Structures are given as C-alpha cells and as structure tokens.
Amino acid sequence: MALGTEYDVKGSSIIREWSGQVQPALVASFVFLFCLEACLWVRNLRQKRRLPGPFAWPVVGNAMQLGQTPHTTFARLAKKYGSVYQIRLGRSDIVVLNGDKAIRQALIEHSTEFAGRPNFVSFQMVSGGRSLTFTTYSKQWKLHRKIAQTKLRDFSSATSQTKSAFEQHITVEALELVKIFLSHSSNGRHFNPSQKFTIAAANIMCALCFGKRYGHDDLEFRNLLQKLERFGETVGAGSLVDVMPWLQNFPNPVRSVYENFKTLNEEFFSYVKDKVDEHRESFTPDVVRDMSDSIINVIEHNEDCGLSKEFVESTVTDLIGAGQDTVSTSLQWILILLVKHPDMQRKVHELMDKVVGPDRLPTIEDRSRLAYLDAFIYETMRFISYVPLTIPHSTTSDVTIEGLHIPKDTVVFINQWSVNHDPLKWKDPHIFDPTRFLDEHGALNKEVTSSVMIFSTGKRRCPGSQIAKVELFLFAAVLLHQCSFEADPSNPPSLDCSYGLTLRPLHLSISAKLRGKLLDVVSPA
C-alpha cells in the first residue's frame, strides 16, 4: 500500500512464483495429484464455462502461461478474450479484470460487491490477523477503515497542527539524501541510490507513526529495515499455499516460504507492538505526538469505538509496511526517468529557479506553481505502473460486469497496469509525456490525474494516498532544487525491473551535482 496502496499486489506475488521454474520438490506432488486433477479437468471440460478464458491444464492451470510480467500477459489475453475473463491457478478459478471501463465499473459502480478479500492463509498472517489491507469486507472492517482514513486525513489536512511537522520531517529526510548523494558522487563517482531511498521512506513512516527519525547507522532502525526487506522479498517470491493449501502438509520449498513469511510477520508485528506499548505508557490525551498517539486515543479512549486495543498495532503495522516499499520504489523510478530525459529535468530546474529561487527550499505551498513537476510524478506513476496488480479482491455477492456473471466468493485480479496503458483512455500510452497532465495554461489537469490508477479505487482505495503524494512531491522538489542528476555512461538506466511486491528497477547508477548553495532546515522536535 503508497502509503498503504492497499498493497494491491498480492496477486502478482502469487503469479510470479508460478511463472518461475518449478521447484524439484514439487514434482512428486504434481505426479501424485495428476490423476485426480485430470479427472476433475475432464469433468470441467464437459461443463459450460461461466466466463471466456484460456485453456487450463490439470494441476497447474494457466500458471505457466503467464511469464515473468503477468500484468502484460493479462493485457494481451484481454485482446483475445475481452476485458473480463477467467484463468485457473492450481484448483482456483480466478477472474481477471482489464481496462479502464471494466475495472472502474467493478470498483466504483459495484464497489461493495468487489470489496471482499479471499480467505488466503498468507493474508491471515499480516498485522496480527487484523490488517485493514488484507481482511475481508465486514462491519468491523468498515469501522476500522473509517478510523484509519480519518486519522490519516488529520495528518495531511491544511488545518492540522501536525501537518507542518510531518512535511518538515520529509524536508529534513530529503536534505539528508542530498548530502549523502553529494558525498557518494565526489570525484565524478556514480552510485546506486536505491538503498538510500528505502531508508528515507522508512524514516518518514517512523516519523509519522513514532514521531522520530533514525540515523542511517542506527542499529534498531537497521533491524526494522531488515524485517521490512524480508517481508518484501518473501511476498515477492509468492505463496503457493494460497492456491494450493495442501502444500502446508509436507516438507517442500513452498512450505519453507510459508513458514518464513509467518515468522517475519510475527517479528515485525512484535517490533511495532513494543513501540506502541511505549506510547501507551507515556500517552497523554491532550497531546498528540504522532499517528500512534492518535490511533491509541480514538480506539482505546473512546467507549463507542467498537474496536479492541489490538487494532492499534495492526493499523500502525499496516501503515509502515504499506508506505515504505511503494514510496521508495516510486522515487527510484522518478530518478531513472529524470536521467533518461535530461531535457525534462532541465525544464524542472528552470521552473524551480523561477518559482522558488536559490535562497529557500520548496514547500508544499509551491505545488500549484510547480505543476510540471507534479505532472512528471503522475506520468511516472502511469507509465511505470509500479504497483501493476492489486491485492486480490473477492466478490461479496453475485455481480455482472460487462454483461458477464461473476458468482459470490470469486477471487478477482485487478490489472492496474492495463488501466494506465489503456489506448482508449490515453493517447500514445507507450510514450512518456508529462504534458498530458497539463491544461492549456500549464496547470495540472485534475480530471486527467484522477484517471491514473496506482492506489486502487473504490472501497479498497489506499487510505494514505494523499500523504503518499505529499511525500513524493516534497522529496522530488527538494532533491531537484538542490541537485542535478546524471546517468552513468557505462551503465545507462533502463526500465528493466524485478517483479514482486512492486516493480523494482534493476539498474540505477547516477551521480549528483550541487546546483547552488546547500541549504538546511531545522529538524522538527
């Protein structure tokens, strides 16, 4: 989840594991089950399909057809079978939605019917089993979401007392990156800033949730990042037990992934719980220091809340886990596209000099006058679509989309990438062009920006999307105000990426140069 994209990416994780090489230890299992599955397969062939879709083999279904980039495979299959079709993974029938029209019809016009989550075993391990992101639609979920959304809005609204402190945290972290980048670029050196972006994004989430940032060499902070990275790596590797639960019953590589995923979730949840307990001990109702205090106040000190206190640490765990990965990944792609398009970078610099000048740092109040930078960020989100698939949805009742019937409790994959590359919605979607988001006066066209789908939409839209956009703008603005960036000629940037929790760039080597004088800002208390 950008800050919480609702982490609408679990489907892609499942598929990636399928699309890799079959683990040798699974071969015996496949042989053992083949006869049974073949019988079921023949029976299904004789039954009328509810939806169109590709031919599915016994045992594996369509898994081996999906390749290393399932989002593009899904879009290609849509050209043959339509925007709504059915695939099979293991013994699970899954509906795939593609294209702007079908997906918005489902998630907006039928938002309640598509608000469920599948009963996957991996979903039950996240955030102590009370994850806002991974639990299914219910009265309790609606109450939980309302609280989380309200508290996040408090930290990003113009009238919030905590808003300026949060924005200052971002500026401080961005300036720390500037200093590190300049240090690593001395004597014309080039370096990979990916890890630094990861630390910076995690620091912002710690500032939001715990009211403090950590030094880059802080041991406790490094341990936190290690847990977060292991979470991303494990989820990115996929969890076949979600579609083949019988794999839990005997030793095999998939069972090991399942057990490791369970362990790291328990460790990370325990870490967050310790921090929340520290906040409980020093909590004062009249002083809201950070998001943890705010959530403690509404859940534990409001008799009419309706949620138990365990939902406090679950909410905080969701926020940290959701915001760190997507924001850091987005910043990496922004930098790649800036060095791939130096003319666009120069245009941002010229605008920065005109609007902000050399003697102060950009602020969120400059955003409307730095519309081209905002447009560049939106085009990065659209063009890369670094959260290509949403976390799988599940239908809460029978529903009809594009004239096709989808039964209750059907697992649904939402292909966000196809929305952002829909030729019926975007002119030349394969071309990177930030000006598509600007009107004739050079202002940001909000109607066009609302067409980008990176935080999902409908009832499962990321509740932290506005905070994520503030983060991305301020990080990019401060970095570009202070620095110019160049690619490594011997290792030019590419759009190659690894397919996991998000689309992460594989190659990023840059150098940074100070544009004027190095500015500073007082760190918030």
| 52-93: pLDDT as tens digits | 999 998 888 888 888 888 999 999 999 999 999 999 988 889
Query: Quick check: 522 pLDDT over 90?
Result: no
- Taking the model in full, what pTM does it have? 0.89
Which segments within 416-508 are labelled E, that is strand? Answer: 483-487, 497-499, 503-505
Residues 6+ apart with CB under 8 A from 491: 190, 507, 509
Report if residue 54 sits inside a domain. yes
Give the Cα separation of 285 and 117 in Å (integer). Answer: 35
Cβ burial 134-165 (10 Å sphere, 16+ → b, else e): bbebeeebeebbebbbebbebbbeeeeebbeb
Per DSSP, the residues of 135-150 read SPPSHHHHHHHHHHHH
User: What is the residue range of 495's domain?
Assistant: 10-514
8 Å CB contact between 375 and 469: no
Residue 525 covered by a domain: no
Report which of residues 92 and 28 the model is more confident about.
92
The pLDDT tens digits of the residues spanning 277-324 come to: 999 999 998 888 889 999 999 999 987 888 999 999 999 999 888 778
429: confidence class by pLDDT, cuts 50, 70, 90: very high
Domain presence at residue 295? yes
The winner for highest mean pLDDT among 66-75, 219-228, 267-276, 393-402 is 393-402
- DSSP β-bridge partners for residue 57: 61
**Please, which pLDDT band fits residue 165 given cuts at 50, 70 and 90?**
confident
Calculate mean pLDDT across residues 408-417. 96
Total domains, the chain: 1
Instruction: Identify whether 389 is part of a domain.
Output: yes
pLDDT digits (tens, 9 = 90+) for 213-231: 887 778 777 777 776 766 6
d(CA 373, CA 434): 8
Residue 194 in contact with residue 332, Cβ under 8 Å? yes
Order of strands, edge to edge, in the sheet holding 393-394? 84-89, 92-97, 411-414, 393-394
Is 209 assigned to a binding site?
no
The structure tokens 């399942």 sit at 258
> Which helix (H) or strand (E) covers residue 414, if one does?
strand 411-414
Tell me if 519 is assigned to some domain. Answer: no
Mean pLDDT of all residues in 106-127: 92
Task: Name every residue whose Cβ is closer than 8 Å to that of residue 409 and which is 6 or more positions away in sequence.
Answer: 116, 394, 395
Q: Beta 92-97 vs 404-406: how paired, if at all?
A: unpaired
Phi-psi region of 385 (alpha: psi -120 to 50; beta: other; left: phi over 0): left
Chain-centre distance for alpha carbon 132: 14
Q: How confident is the model at residue 25 (pLDDT cuts 50, 70, 90)?
A: very low
Rounded to 5°, angle at Cα 240 from 237 and 241: 125
**What does the block give as tokens for 19?**
């699309």
Interatomic CA distance for residues 1 and 387, integer angstroms: 9
Q: Tell whether 522 is covered by a domain.
A: no
Q: Which of 235, 243, 236, 237 is nearest to 265 (CA)?
A: 235
Tokens 């030019």 belong to residue: 492
Nearest to 94 by CA among 51, 40, 127, 59: 51
- CA pair distance 108, 361, nearest whole angstrom: 39
Q: How far apart are CA 205 and CA 23, in angstroms?
A: 37
Residue 89's domain is classified under what CATH number?
A: 1.10.630.10
**Model confidence at 157: pLDDT above 80:** no
Q: What is the CB neighbour count within 10 angstroms for residue 493?
A: 19
pLDDT at res. 232: 60
Residue 303: Cβ-neighbour burial (10 angstroms; 0-12, 13-18, 19+): exposed
User: Do the domain assignments include residue 399?
Assistant: yes
Between 49 and 383, the more confident residue is 383
Bigger pLDDT: 329 vs 26: 329
Q: Is residue 510 part of a domain?
A: yes
